[in-house]
């Protein structure tokens, strides 16, 4: 069956793999759409240290169950699904304390193990999420939005907060949406005006271009000179990491989602002077996924987050272009 491969940095091709029967406890999914994730882009660019090549990318899944393995009832055949693309060992400290999204030995589809950019993909039944009422396209948006939802949970955002989200791609969009749903005032920050306009359309109270000469004064003006009570870093670069700490209010909360790709030096006195709470945010929990599904059920215009839809044969060209102009893309779906 047809499959997409990233063979090495800068080299993506279309090939084929053997279609396997689902094992015990698994189902076979006919793939409708798979979103191209930032981690797929990092794999293509050779910036993902967790990847070994060649790798089949893809973990933002939309599909339908077409076959069940032993132990799974055939009554599920025909159900539209997405899935949680993470593994968890059940034995490490995070697993034993209920935070399986941060399992020490996690293997994410398309990263540490081959992903779902194929015509069919087998998934453990326990990882499925049933989302009746969602379109096939919306199903592929669940996983990336859930990562931003999880960051908001990590930041303990309430309706008393002003949240600054740094980076308005799909992950940042999830953080914006969830913060708005929790009643917070949201300041969306990016360097791409098109993404900022989308951020405004999904509920951001204010949008600010980080390239503005008066960026810092704008943030202060919008927060009564205190700074935002919560900053969420969703871009993964040196500047946004620094800004998240520099701009947050005293006693504020800082949540980091993005991988910066290199070590970053911080003015550590701010950690103490501001008495900051700083947290990492990794993947998402089942409750985050379910919250996204509930949101998508109620929002008919959420497909506007999709930049374009491509055929598998277009993947090598599209990911090359995205790597050369990463700011222009919100979400690309591959249609199988």
pLDDT for 271 beyond 80: yes
pLDDT at residue 327 greater than cutoff 80: no
Q: What pLDDT score was predicted for residue 217?
A: 98
How many other C-beta atoms are found inside a 10 Å radius of the C-beta of residue 200? 16
Q: Name the band, by pLDDT with cuts 50, 70 and 90, for residue 210.
A: very high
What does the pLDDT average to over 282-306?
94
The confidence band for 301, taking pLDDT boundaries of 50, 70 and 90, is: confident
Which superfamily does 148-280 belong to? NAD(P)-binding Rossmann-like Domain (3.40.50.720)
Instruction: Give the model confidence (pLDDT) of 120-134 as tens digits.
Output: 999 999 999 999 889
Residues 302, 235, 330, 315: is their CA dihedral positive or negative?
negative
Q: What is the pLDDT of residue 184?
A: 98
User: Is the pLDDT score of 197 beyond 90?
Assistant: yes
Note the pLDDT tens digit of each residue in 68-109: 999 999 999 999 999 999 999 999 999 999 999 999 999 999
Q: What is the pLDDT of residue 50?
A: 87
Q: Could you tell me the pTM of the whole model?
A: 0.96
d(CA 156, CA 21): 43
Domain spanning 2-141+306-335, CATH class: alpha beta
The Cα–Cα gap between 49 and 151 comes to: 22
Mean pLDDT of 111-119: 97
Cβ partners under 8 Å of residue 30, min gap 6: 63, 64, 65, 66, 119, 120
CA distance 198 to 190: 11
Cβ atoms 206, 165 nearer than 8 A: no
Mean pLDDT of 131-157: 96
Q: Write down the pLDDT at residue 156.
A: 98
Of residues 307 and 261, more confidently modeled: 307
pLDDT of res. 24: 98
Lookup: tokens for 270: 């701010």
In the chain, CATH 3.40.50.720 sits at 148-280
Nearest to 33 by CA among 317, 322, 312, 277: 312
Strands 185-190, 206-209: pairing kind:
parallel
Percentage of the chain surpassing pLDDT 70? 100
Looking at the chain, which residues constitute the CATH 3.90.180.10 domain(s)?
A: 2-141+306-335
Residue corresponding to tokens 């989602």: 257
In this predicted structure, what is the pLDDT of residue 186? 98
């Amino acid at each position: 069956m047809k499959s997409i491969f990233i063979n090495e940095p800068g080299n993506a091709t279309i090939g084929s793999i053997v279609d396997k029967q689902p094992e015990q406890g698994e189902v076979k999914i006919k793939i409708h759409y798979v979103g191209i994730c930032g981690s797929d882009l990092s794999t293509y660019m050779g910036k993902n240290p967790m990847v070994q090549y060649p790798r089949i990318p893809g973990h933002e899944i939309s599909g339908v169950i077409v076959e069940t393995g032993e132990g799974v009832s055939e009554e599920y055949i025909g159900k539209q699904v997405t899935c949680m693309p993470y593994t968890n060992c059940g034995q490490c400290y995070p697993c034993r304390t209920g935070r399986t999204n941060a399992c020490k030995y996690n293997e994410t589809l398309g990263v540490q193990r081959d992903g779902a950019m194929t015509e069919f993909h087998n998934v453990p039944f326990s990882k499925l999420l049933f989302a009746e009422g969602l379109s096939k396209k919306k199903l592929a948006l669940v996983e990336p939005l859930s990562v931003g939802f999880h960051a908001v949970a990590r930041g303990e955002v309430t309706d008393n907060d002003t949240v600054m989200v740094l980076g308005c791609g799909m992950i940042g969009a999830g953080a914006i949406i969830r913060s708005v749903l929790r009643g917070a005032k949201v300041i969306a920050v990016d360097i791409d005006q098109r993404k900022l306009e989308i951020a405004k359309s999904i509920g951001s109270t204010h949008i600010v271009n980080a390239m503005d000469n008066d960026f810092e004064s704008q943030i202060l003006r919008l927060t009564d000179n205190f700074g935002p009570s919560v900053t969420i870093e969703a871009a993964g670069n040196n500047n946004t990491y620094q800004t998240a700490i520099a701009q947050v209010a005293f006693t504020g909360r800082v949540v980091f989602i993005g991988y910066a790709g290199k070590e970053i030096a911080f003015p550590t006195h701010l950690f103490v002077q501001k008495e900051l709470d700083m947290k990492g945010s990794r993947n998402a929990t089942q409750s985050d996924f379910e919250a996204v599904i509930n949101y998508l059920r109620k929002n008919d215009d959420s497909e506007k987050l999709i930049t374009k839809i491509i055929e598998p044969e277009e993947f090598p060209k599209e990911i090359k272009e995205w790597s050369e102009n990463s700011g222009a893309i919100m979400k690309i779906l591959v249609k199988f």
